[in-house]
Each structure stands twice: as C-alpha cells, then as structure tokens.
Amino acid sequence: MSNPYLIKDLARLSGFSIYTIKYYLKIGLIKESGRSPETNFRFFDDTTLKQLETIRQLRREKKSIRQIKEILSEGV
C-alpha cells in the first residue's frame, strides 16, 4: 500500500463528504484496501483517491451512478 488514508483523509483530499464516501463504499463503487486489527478503522490508498477523482469527473459529465460503476469495473 502506498499512502494509507482514513475516511476523513479521503474526504479532505477528494472534496467528497464522509457520508458520500461511506455511500460509495456501501454500493461498491470504491473498496477499502484494509482494516486496522486494533481499531477496525478502514484504510484506503492512492488508488481509491484516484477513483474518487474519476468519479467526480464522471459526475460532472452527468453520468449516473450505474454508468460510473460500469466504467470503473471496466478499468477505464
């Protein structure tokens, strides 16, 4: 893992709210890269941050969540 981030770090760096990030996790748009065994906090990495940037761009292009999910699953 390159840079480990907590949800609050992702929110600060990406501009998405914590609630939006949790929603994206719930629907499978993004995934955690690991969990702390002591605190059970979710960790994320630079890949997740890049995915959030891609999601923001696609939302600006008026893509639906379903379309974004398909695009991300194709690896584009």
Q: Where are the domains of the chain?
A: 7-74
Helix (H) or strand (E) holding 42: strand 42-43
Per-residue pLDDT of the chain (76 residues; tens, 9 = 90+): 478 999 999 999 999 999 999 999 999 999 999 998 899 999 999 999 999 999 999 999 999 999 999 998 887 5
3-state secondary structure of 30: coil
> How far apart (Å, rounded) are the C-alpha atoms in residues 6 and 42?
6
By the 8 A CB rule, do 33 and 1 touch?
yes
> Between β-strands 34-35 and 42-43, what pairing exists: parallel, antiparallel or unpaired?
antiparallel
> How far apart (Å, rounded) are the C-alpha atoms in residues 1 and 24?
21
Fold for domain 7-74?
Multidrug-efflux Transporter Regulator; Chain: A; Domain 2 (1.10.1660)
Name the token pair of 59. Answer: 């939302």
